[in-house]
Amino acid sequence: MSSSASSLFAIPVVGLAFVFCLSGVAGAQTAISTGREGGSYHAIGERLKASLSADQGYEISLDPSSGSTQNLARLADPSSPVGLALTQSDALARFVKMNPEFASEYIVLGDAGKECVLAIGSSKGSLWSFANLAATKGTEISVDGPGSGAAVTFGYLLEKDPDLSSLNVVYTDVMEAMLQLQVGAANSALGVVMIVQRPTVRSEVVEVLLARSGDYRLLPIYASDVQGGRLPDESSVYTFERVRVGDKSSSAGIEVDTLCMRSLLLASKRKLDRDTRSKLSRFMLMAGPEVFADPD
């Protein structure tokens, strides 16, 4: 998940006149489990909260988290006030595999957009592709923290391809890892910094990539390099495509072939009654594009 501006703004929705309060466990206010403060999931939560409160009378609270895995655990926990949660599709697939009963306990309220893997290596290193990385024993791959999007994705890929176990996973702050790739590549086992984010968002990491393109290379990931899976609705967890990183235009940014997944907004069937879910669905049909839009 990327760092992004998280300013609040209201979203006008024409034709929706309902006003009510979402109720969670034991009558408590319902929360949305987002992600780290300052990250893209938290920004989505802020936009959703502002719009629902200002325009429609909904009242929800934001519950920051370490990422998708914690969000799903909160949504599934009957004692948690979390009735809404954001998640990567691969985290959802992995969670359902470990908790099959959960497959019938949620609905998808919206598609929050595409997130893609950026596998970043040193321009001075010997790694040129993800396949090359998987064949290199003892190389370290930095995936930020245990609950980060990159950690979730790597964990899911590892389940599908045990050969990736030859890599040593390290949990290092992304910017610290980027610095080590730049200044210490020759004397370090660190080979790749892996992040997951919306490709067009100029996160701090992407700003570094664009400003110091001579120091880094993006490792391509092709469909033949990894094994994917399917969600409970039988849709594919991953797509493989060429994306432009860091810019929405066709004349800027960096292009790379990589794997992408969807970000999803889920609602609990157990914690939100049918009427509430119906009204939320109506709202998301109208306001979803604005709630999920990339920051400018």
The arithmetic mean of pLDDT across residues 261-276, rounded, is: 94
Q: Could you write out the three-class secondary structure of the chain? A: CCECCCCCCCCCCCCCCCCCCCECHHHCECEEECCCCCEHHHHHHHHHHHHHHHHHCCCCEEECCCCHHHHHHHHHCCCCCEEEEEEEHHHHHHHHHHCHHHHHCEEEEEEEEEEEEEEEEECCCCCCCHHHHHCCCCCEEECCCCCCHHHHHHHHHHHHCHHHHHCEEECCCHHHHHHHHHHCHHHCCEEEEEEEECCCCCCHHHHHHHHCCCCEEECCCCCCCCCCCECCCCCECCEEEEEEECCCCCCCCEEEEEEEEEEEEEEECCCCCHHHHHHHHHHHHHHHHHHCCCCC
Mean model confidence pLDDT for the chain:
84
96-117 pLDDT tens trace: 999 999 999 999 999 998 999 9
pLDDT value of position 24: 46
200-235 pLDDT tens trace: 888 899 999 988 988 999 999 998 888 777 777 778
pTM score, whole prediction: 0.82
The arithmetic mean of pLDDT across residues 242-248, rounded, is: 83
Which is more confident, 62 or 10? Answer: 62
Q: Of 19-23, 24-28, 98-102, give the lowest mean pLDDT range.
A: 24-28
Which is more confident, 137 or 172? Answer: 172
